[in-house]
Amino acid sequence: MRPARARIDLDALRHNYALTRQRHGSRTLAVIKANAYGHGAIECARALEEIAEGFAVAIVEEAVQLRESGIRAPILVLEGVFDAEDLALATRHGLWLVVHQEAQLRMLEEEHHPDGLKLDVWLKLNSGMNRAGFEPSSYRGAWERLRACRGIGEIVLMTHLAQADEPDSAATTRQIALFDTATSGIPGARSIANSAGVLSWTAARRDWGRPGIALYGADPMPDEANALRPVMTLESEIVGVREIAAGAAIGYGARFIAERPTRVGLVAMGYADGYPRSAPDGTPVFVHGVRTRLIGKVSMDMLTVDLTAAPTAGIGSPVELWGTNVSVNEVAQGAGTIAYELLCNVKRVRLVYQ
């Protein structure tokens, strides 16, 4: 069997949840949207069930899948519903719904026919991200209309931060202040902080935290020492070795040309597995206990590494693409993207839980 796999350390996941929850100091939803950022939503939910106060996903289908796997904890749907069918599913499965725009509010007014079941909703304020959420001027009105709906239970007041991963961003301070002004005097629990908010903005801490990326051990602010543990190790093996002469090229487009005679290792991992094709020559790869580098363009199913620094490496030697020795943040930075995208792009490889 092809040796490519992603090992998922569920203890590290629990450690990271406990750390973010302790940092936030109040109830904390574990964000497991997009298949838990590529880590497997059902397995991650089961691993966190005993300690997490609830979960958050993006869409109703993700929440239903968790319910059908036996997850009974609260599940918040961050994008809310798209139509009456979503709303019926949400009611039937006891989901919590974000309401971020007029059409969703109208759906609740017109289509929500509860039979005794109360639907809890999170009313979202646009505090500056200008993506989703009610404007400050219409927020209280939206809250009053929700309050008047039949079958609505608790209403949590929420917003989302756009720049919390930038230290001392004035924008974050403005967003928090705007949230406090717009929600002033409205009863109900509050929620502002994503991972970056939980980890570095004490001013963003409220009744509910919503960390995602930090749970998977990819620190949104890698320069801070937050003691998060990487959850995913993307790994494979050397499946071929060759020596090339100085001046010889490797792979598509002959991007890499050897400066000197070079031992090249072929690794069973490619962009069809989610390893980024945009990774440049020099991207760190951990091979047989040493950090070496990617050389040559990443192919669909394979990539090539420099074995000069690992003379004892050969066929069958272990390769870590990211994990504890090479952080996913490092690879993302080199590839011009973010850890979020790399993690949730992982596919085709087996997920192995430990």
Ligand X SMILES: *Cc1c(COP(=O)(O)O)cnc(C)c1O
Alpha carbons 174 and 223: distance in angstroms, whole number:
24
Alpha carbons 93 and 302: distance in angstroms, whole number:
43
Inter-residue contact 64 to 91 (CB < 8 Å):
no
Of these residues, 124, 139, 252, 275, which one is catalytic?
252
Active site residue 252: yes
Smallest distance, ligand X to C-beta of residue 147, A: 22
Burial of 195-227, coded b for 16+ CB within 10 Å and e otherwise, reads bbbbbbbeebbbebbbbbbbbbbbbbbbeeebe
Cβ burial of 121 (10 Å; 0-12, 13-18, 19+) is buried
Question: What's the Cα-to-Cα distance from 249 to each of 191, 244, 246, rounded to whole Å?
Answer: 53, 8, 9
- CB closer to ligand X, 88 vs 221: 221
Smallest distance, ligand X to C-beta of residue 198, A: 7
- CB closer to ligand X, 212 vs 284: 212
Closest CA to 177 of 153, 155, 201, 200: 201
- Under the rule (CB under 6 A), what is the footprint of ligand X? 31, 33, 78, 160, 194-195, 210-214, 220
Alpha carbons 264 and 243: distance in angstroms, whole number:
6
Of these residues, 17, 33, 37, 275, which one is catalytic?
33
Provide the CB-side half-sphere exposure for 194 (13 A, CA). 17
131 annotated ligand binder: yes
Q: Which residue has the closest beta carbon to ligand X?
A: 212
- CB closer to ligand X, 281 vs 341: 341
Smallest distance, ligand X to C-beta of residue 258, A: 40
Smallest distance, ligand X to C-beta of residue 211, A: 5
Bind-site residues: 131, 300
Query: Which residues are known binding-site members for substrate?
Result: 131, 300
Question: Which active-site residues does the annotation give?
Answer: 33, 252
